[in-house]
Amino acid sequence: MNQPIRIALIGTGMISHRHMKVWSHIPEVTVVAAADIDERALKAFGAQYGIGEENLYTDFRQMLKRDDFTAVDVCVHNNLHAPVCLAVMKAGFDCYDEKPMSASYFDSKLIYDCARVTGKKLAVQISSMFSGQTLVAKKVIDAGKLGEVYHARVCASLWRRRPHADRDAAACSAAFQDRAMAGHGALIDTGIYHIGQMLYLLGLPELDTVLGQTCQRLPVGGPAWADSRHYARLRPMGVDEMGIGFAKFKGGLTLEVCEANASNIPDMGSSFITGTQGGLEYTMSDAFGGDWSMGMPPFGQLPEFLQPTLKFYGHDDLGFAVTVDYRPYENQQDLKYYDPEMMQWFDNQLHWYNYLIGKLTDETRYNTPLIALNTSLLAEGIVLSGERGGSITAEEIRAESKSIAMWHQETPWGVFDYDSTF
């Protein structure tokens, strides 16, 4: 790992700082320029990370005219992912797309196809892929320990299963709850992590039919969320706080999705995979962007919600029931931090860097664009099924999905018109 890469970053809001924490762990990567329509945020970002004013842009399209960097980290709101990623790749840069790939299947497909047409190296941030849980579950499944897998479930994050309105709303910018900017809520926020990880572990099965519903029923109140005295006058979220779905795949495999940013039930159970020989239960199925991005202290001090674990239920050679409680973090702590070969499977951005320099290839890397595209298809199926009031086939989702991206954006610097063709 010694090939320098110069990159630029678009969108200097909340998540960009976590990305910068990770870049600081990879000395070969230098962020040489940044763009944001919010000049104040942009200047503060430049000052914090030592990027001079001459390298800061309020119009990212001007920045893309430069030729002294090769890749761009995209950290804008959901419904700008497609317009910005397309502009980035069409301008000749490799692209890292913060999650969700996009808020609709149609827009995700545009990003996916644009990467194929331009030949640019695209990655989508799916931090749940980069956990010991994923590595171990994959090994268990590949070793045939579950037999034939026939059913699975993904469910909401434990830290959000609170009998209160959405906690995140207080921490994130208004765009998080704004339908025009975010598109949807829980389903494509935390949901994409759980669904993406599960679809990968199930071998990206081909979707057949989806029945689902999204809903927005609970009030939310920013910093007052926990104060029941204010509960009655809290305003509703602009996006769904819950997404429920049932998917059938070709061949008969089934998957339940139960995703919520908030609900009046403290525990919705756990995610699991069950097969003819054994089962895997995920405990703490959360992933927060990886340890590096969270600026975590050395292992052992990680809070419990950052330590996704697994339980295997099966049989020994004599047919007796066995349960194995596996805590990847406890077992791999030394390896993970000090062995770069291992760390590339524990961090999104290092993974992308290794892909950029050719150490990981299309064959060996996690194909996050394809995983994210499949995730988008299923999530969109849940949305469209709810709208039509009945089940929907994969073909119908592909046909009915529409762009909800922001192709004309009003900014303090005039209207930015984006081009969806490539």
Q: Which residues bind ligand NAD (CB under 6 A)?
A: 10-15, 35-38, 41, 60, 75-78, 80, 98-99, 172-173, 175, 288-289, 409, 416
CB of 201 to ligand NAD, least distance (A): 20
The full DSSP string for 225-265 is: TT-GGGGGGPEEPSS-SEEEEEEEETTS-EEEEEEES--S-
Closer to ligand NAD by CB, 12 or 344: give it.
Answer: 12
Taking each helix axis from N to C end, the angle separating 191-201 and 368-388, rounded to the nearest 10 degrees, works out to: 120
User: In a 3-state reduction of DSSP, which class is residue 51?
Assistant: coil
CB of 193 to ligand NAD, least distance (A): 9
CA distances from 231 to 175, 242, 264 (A): 22, 19, 13
Using an 8 Å Cβ cutoff, are 200 and 134 in contact?
Answer: yes
Among residues 159, 166, 162, the alpha carbon closest in space to that of 236 is found at: 166
CB of 60 to ligand NAD, least distance (A): 5
CA distances from 216 to 7, 32, 235, 267 (A): 39, 41, 11, 19
CA distances from 307 to 58, 115, 214, 271 (A): 39, 33, 29, 15
Q: Which residues contact 73 (CB under 8 A, 6 or more apart)?
A: 7, 8, 9, 10, 16, 19, 23, 31, 96, 98, 349
Residues 4 and 222: their CA atoms lie apart, in Å, by 42
Residues 392 and 162: their CA atoms lie apart, in Å, by 31
Closer to ligand NAD by CB, 89 or 152: give it.
Answer: 89
Closer to ligand NAD by CB, 77 or 121: give it.
Answer: 77
Closer to ligand NAD by CB, 14 or 224: give it.
Answer: 14
Closer to ligand NAD by CB, 275 or 289: give it.
Answer: 289
Closer to ligand NAD by CB, 77 or 153: give it.
Answer: 77
Ranked by CB distance to ligand NAD, the top (closest) residue is 13
CB of 12 to ligand NAD, least distance (A): 5
CB of 182 to ligand NAD, least distance (A): 7
Closer to ligand NAD by CB, 152 or 165: give it.
Answer: 165
Closer to ligand NAD by CB, 54 or 316: give it.
Answer: 54
Tokens of 222: 């920013």
CB of 406 to ligand NAD, least distance (A): 8
CB of 407 to ligand NAD, least distance (A): 12
CB of 136 to ligand NAD, least distance (A): 22
CA distances from 15 to 11, 294, 351 (A): 9, 10, 18
Q: How far apart are the first and last CA of the chain?
A: 33
Q: Which residues contact 330 (CB under 8 A, 6 or more apart)?
A: 299, 307
